[in-house]
Amino acid sequence: MNTSRRPAQELRATIDRLPLDVRRAVLDGMQSQRIIAGAHADGLGGLCPMEAAEVSWKSVSAASMEVAQEAARAWDRYAEARGAWRPATKRQLLALQSMLEASILEETAQTEVSLSEVIAEHERSKALRAATPAREATPASPPTLAPAVTAPAGFTRPPADAPVAPAVPAPSAADASTPPVVSSRRRRETGERDRSGELRERDGWAWLKPFRNYDQYEEALVRALSELDRHEAELDEQLARP
């Protein structure tokens, strides 16, 4: 236990570690017994909170018994009982009662909320299953056959050795009338000043000498690729002609 904590915080933290039935028994014992601090009993009927609880300590686990002993020592420190027993004041009793009630309420509220959520979820699932009708198996429909295609009157099938007309390629997206594609790249600010005027006459001052920046180079490359696609389409059309 961290003894550097305030006595009230230490007492409350220790109470929270007690079993729930022990906390309830301590709270009930406070209502019927005279509570003291600094000793298990004063010989005159006064008892410490742990002794006032009607609990069968033999049935309590060793870990819970150790927590109960810690709670008794924390109560003595909170009540400032050093070396001798003393009756608990009304303020100290009210504080202990409030700690016990709050600790019990928090744990029971969490349990009840969890249980109510489980019950509500079960009821929702049951209602959903009842509202959803069972699906009956339906026989598979026979496949629908496409209607037979009949040739119009006067139509004659061409002979097998008749020449086939070349396919006309679809108009290319890179038509000459299509304006060049402009890159949507935004120039990133680097903080460097423009030195083109200073270095213009120096040979090899820029790796993209025909262009002032990378955006111009990218736009020229897009136009070149579009022009190449158009020439390839024209060449394929010429080769397909008889």
Residue pLDDT, tens place only, 60-84: 888 989 999 999 999 999 998 877 8
What tokens does 41 get?
Answer: 């009993």
Work out the angle between the directed axes of helices 62-78 and 7-17 (0-180°, nearest 10).
Answer: 160
Token pair listed for 225: 């690729």
The region that residue 204 occupies, defined by phi over 0 for left and psi between -120 and 50 for alpha, beta otherwise, is left
Q: Are strands 46-47 and 86-87 parallel, antiparallel or unpaired?
A: unpaired
Alpha helices in the chain (DSSP H): 7-17, 20-32, 49-52, 62-78, 90-131, 196-199, 214-240
Continuous H helices in 132-213: 196-199
DSSP sequence for 179-193: PPPPP-PPPPP-SPP
Residue pLDDT, tens place only, 186-200: 666 666 667 777 766
pLDDT digits (tens, 9 = 90+) for 152-180: 556 566 665 655 555 555 555 555 555 55
pLDDT higher than 90, residue 215: no
Q: What is the pLDDT of residues 85-97, one digit of tens each?
A: 889 999 999 999 9
- Tokens 């061409």, residue? 158
Burial 32-62 (b: 16+ CB within 10 A, else e): ebebbbbbeebeeebbbbbbbbebeeeebee
**Is residue 29 over pLDDT 80?**
yes
Residue 71: predicted pLDDT: 93
1, pLDDT greater than 50: no
pLDDT digits (tens, 9 = 90+) for 122-161: 677 667 767 766 555 455 555 555 555 555 556 566 665 6
- pLDDT mean across residues, the chain: 75
Helix (H) or strand (E) holding 139: none
pTM for this entry = 0.45
Give the pLDDT score at 223: 79
pLDDT at residue 4, as a whole number: 44
